[in-house]
Amino acid sequence: MDLAERVASLKPTAVNRVLQEVKALQADGRSLVSLMRGQPDSPTPAHIVDAVEQALRDGHTGYPDNQGEPVLRHAVVEKLWRDNDLTYDPHREVLITDGATGGLFTALAVLIQPGDEVLVPDPIYDAYASPIAIWGGRGVSVASSIRQGRFTLDRTALEAAWTPRTKVLLLNTPWNPTGSVLMRDELTACAEFAIERNVYLLSDEIYEAFVYDGARHVSPAVLSAEAKSRTIVINSLSKTYGMTGWRVGYCAAPAEIISAMMLAWQQFSRGPATFVQHAAAAALSGDQACVRTMTADYQERRDSVVQALRNIQGVTPLVPQGGLFVMVDVRGLKKSSDEVRRFLLNEGGVVVMHGAAYGKGGEGTLRVSFAAGGETLERGLERLRECLTRLA
């Protein structure tokens, strides 16, 4: 086949690679428990399902407005004001996309030229790498450090990674896989760096609803008018409302950026299904009690993961402030994170991700998801504890 060279720069996501191993074992009849994916097990709340049925009955089945149905753009703007203290114009500063995935891809399409560099904290969600590569960009790792039991970023690390080709700093808060919620002072350091170095901030805020122990999610766009003028906020309903399969998300940014993104976006999508967009508006504008219930549930699950993995020699769970994962420091086991993951999979029948899948900075850790709860989490934690104790 004579395929485009750029295909060689693309990689399957780490989760998809591990899923292949999982499927092979399952095909041999192994029973596995998965604590791997960031897929909330809570069903989409009933009032949102009702809204999609109603939208279908109301005939919202034609092509959507390509920028996003006006009702959803208005709901996004109200949400950004209500939850994030941010003001955007629904006509010029919002684009509705197929999840955060569509938003990130489109933002990168309009920001980077071949050879430009995108700073990405290390470790981070590995699926950022290929969309950077497809547009000819180069992902450059920003070293993070573990301080007081949490991963953090600082100005020194940003400066060390900067070159004259740096165009974008990609942030994810709450931060997958580390569980850190970037504090206002950490974000201020990032924003000051971006302003002084003339760099755009691409801010993936998909886990914003899941913050624990009273932590507060802050968007870098709220820090100052200057920070807002160079920030593209990326968000999605996937996690917040248990809607991963609905494929609906949104971006907010200055009008000139949204207008360029709109131009790129329409080349490969007409947007999420029209009736889905109407239900998404109902989700954002409706009662948020369902989100509070999910968050309280996840905080309990997080606590049970941390509790189950304490007091194992060579193993230290880092308590996440947000998101759906606990990073577990297994450096004391004196094996690579992938070796530990394979041992857990093959000997214990429990699936987790190895930290190294998210960058060098993740080596020596495991990522344990608590997006699935109930019996899955209980059985998974039993197996995990038993196997890690054996390894220790």
Ligand X SMILES: Cc1ncc(COP(=O)(O)O)c(C=O)c1O
Instruction: Quote the tokens at residue 201.
Output: 């901030």
Our CB check for ligand X shows the closer of 244 and 295 to be: 244
Q: Interface residues for ligand X in 322-361 (CB under 6 A)?
A: none
Binding test (CB under 6 A) with ligand X, winner from 66, 101, 285, 304: 101
Q: CA-CA distance, 100 to 123, in Å (whole number)? A: 19
- Which residue's CB atom is positioned nearest to ligand X? 99
Listed ranges 55-63, 93-101, 150-158, 277-285: which one lies at the site for ligand X (CB under 6 A): 93-101
42 sits near ligand X (criterion: CB under 6 A): no
Minimum CB separation from ligand X for residue 14, in Å?
11
Binding region for ligand X (CB under 6 A) out of 41-49, 94-102, 223-231, 356-364: 94-102
Widest CA span in the chain: 60
For ligand X (CB under 6 A), the number of binding residues is 13
Backbone angles phi, psi at 263, to 5 degrees: -65, -45
Please say which residue, 175 or 193, places its beta carbon nearer to ligand X: 175
Does residue 354 contact residue 182 with C-beta atoms inside 8 Å?
Answer: no
User: Cβ closer to ligand X: 45 or 177?
Assistant: 177
Pick one of 100, 191, 258, 388: the residue that binds ligand X (CB under 6 A): 100
Q: Where does this chain touch ligand X (CB under 6 A) — which range of 56-64, 190-198, 236-244, 250-258?
A: 236-244
**Least spacing, CB of residue 178 vs ligand X, in Å:** 11
Spatial CB neighbours of 307, under 8 Å, sequence gap ≥ 6: none
Is 269 a residue that touches ligand X (CB under 6 A)?
A: no
* Shortest Cβ 6–ligand X spacing (Å): 21
Least distance in angstroms from the C-beta of 198 to ligand X: 25
- Residue 15 or 384 with smaller CB distance to ligand X: 15
132: CB partners within 8 A, 6+ apart: 108, 112, 118, 120, 138, 139
The only residue of 69, 186, 204, 205 in contact with ligand X, by rule CB under 6 A: 204
Subset of residues 246 to 265 that bind ligand X, contact rule: CB under 6 A: 249
**Is 242 a residue that touches ligand X (CB under 6 A)?**
no
Say whether residue 13 binds ligand X (CB under 6 A).
no
Cα-only R_g, the chain: 21
User: Given candidates 64, 90, 99, 364, which one binds ligand X under the rule CB under 6 A?
Assistant: 99
State which of residues 152, 172, 178, 219 lies at the interface with ligand X (CB under 6 A). 172
Distance CA 214, CA 223 (A): 20
Least distance from ligand X to the Cβ atom of residue 176, Å: 4
CA 6 – CA 183 distance, rounded (Å):
37
Footprint of ligand X (CB under 6 A): 38, 99-101, 125, 172, 176, 204, 206, 236, 238, 244, 249
